[in-house]
Amino acid sequence: MSGTVDVHHTDGVGHLVLDRPEKLNALSTEMITALGDGVRELTVAGVEVILVRSSGRHFSAGADLTEWAAPSEQDAHRMSRAGVDAFAALAEAPMPTIAVIDGVAAGGGLELALACDLRIATTRARLGLPEATLANLPAYGGITRLMHTVGAVRARELLFTADLVEATRAEQIGLVTQVVEPDGLDHAVTALVGRIRAADPRAVSLAKALTGAAPIDGLLAQFTSQTPQSRSRKDAFLARRQGSSATEGAQS
């Protein structure tokens, strides 16, 4: 554990766990730096999926305001840069990343979740960017990621009002990808990870890299369709389909 972030991996799945529950997992600069280091550590370890979650009742209440109360211009730049770099490392990691959200994900906490590819939340989650109430703006790239996730109009609404929205509303506007009851969270995460890992990891990594990128999908499809992994998986699929057809014919 480093900087109150627990970094570990088990059976090909990486875990970044915010572990500062007594402070509602408020993100200190030390924690943010540890998150970036953790992403790089898990990438070297070769995990196929990274889960970002927290201990305690809340995902993260946001940046540690004791650091942001009256920073100098130099300190503000340093802290913002740390967050931008760490969250970019997460967003650009070659494997899928999933934020597992229970309780509040606000400010920098939501920015952390937005840096992940997918977000699963419980019904008791509340999410938002309340920085405007403090005459501030999200400092870690969250505005751009919010617009990419929910669109410009919804992003403006969330930023202008500083509202914390409930999980069901967050799912309706695309801020989270799935909402489950708290006691079903672990099962939902395990099921999603299983479906992701059933796909070819190289294809998944390329699909992630292409999301929102220039439209070169056709060229890459042409390239990937000729790889041994692609051929093997298509052969297996066709064999299963052929076997299913033969069984149906015998029954008729």
Domain containing residue 75: CATH number = 3.90.226.10
Q: Specify whether 10 is located in the same domain as 121.
A: yes
Q: State the average pLDDT for the chain.
A: 88
Q: Is the dihedral of CA 1, 30, 135, 155 positive or negative?
A: negative
User: In this structure, are residues 31 and 61 in contact, taking their beta carbons and an 8 Å threshold?
Assistant: no
Q: Specify whether 132 is located in the same domain as 232.
A: no
In a domain, 207, yes or no: no
> Structurally, how many domains does the chain consist of?
2
User: Where on the phi/psi map is residue 119: left (φ > 0), alpha (ψ -120 to 50), or beta?
Assistant: beta
Which is more confidently placed, 157 or 133?
Answer: 157
Question: By CB neighbour count within 10 A (0-12 exposed, 13-18 middle, 19+ buried), where does 98 fall?
Answer: buried
Q: Look at residue 7 and tell me whether its pLDDT is greater than 50.
A: yes
Query: Can you give the residue range of the structural domain that contains 245?
Result: 214-251
Q: Could you say which of 41, 67, 111, 171 is catalytic?
A: 111
pLDDT for the residue 3:
73
pLDDT for the residue 216:
38
Taking each continuous run of H as one helix and of E as one strand, the counts in the chain are 11, 9
25-39, 57-71, 123-137, 237-251: which range is least confident on average? 237-251
Q: Look at residue 155 and tell me whether its pLDDT is greater than 60.
A: yes
Mean pLDDT of 84-89: 92
pLDDT for the residue 244:
67
pLDDT for the residue 65:
84
Mean pLDDT of 117-129: 97
Mean pLDDT of 140-168: 95
Q: Specify whether 153 is located in the same domain as 244.
A: no
Active-site annotation holds for 131: yes
Q: Tell me the pLDDT tens digit for each residue of 211-247.
A: 854 333 343 444 444 566 655 766 776 677 777 666 6
Q: Tell me the pLDDT tens digit for each residue of 23-45.
A: 999 999 999 999 999 999 999 99
Q: Specify whether 50 is located in the same domain as 150.
A: yes
Q: Could you say which of 41, 48, 92, 131 is catalytic?
A: 131
pTM for the whole structure: 0.86
User: In this structure, are residues 170 and 154 in contact, taking their beta carbons and an 8 Å threshold?
Assistant: no
Q: What percent of the chain has pLDDT over 90?
A: 66
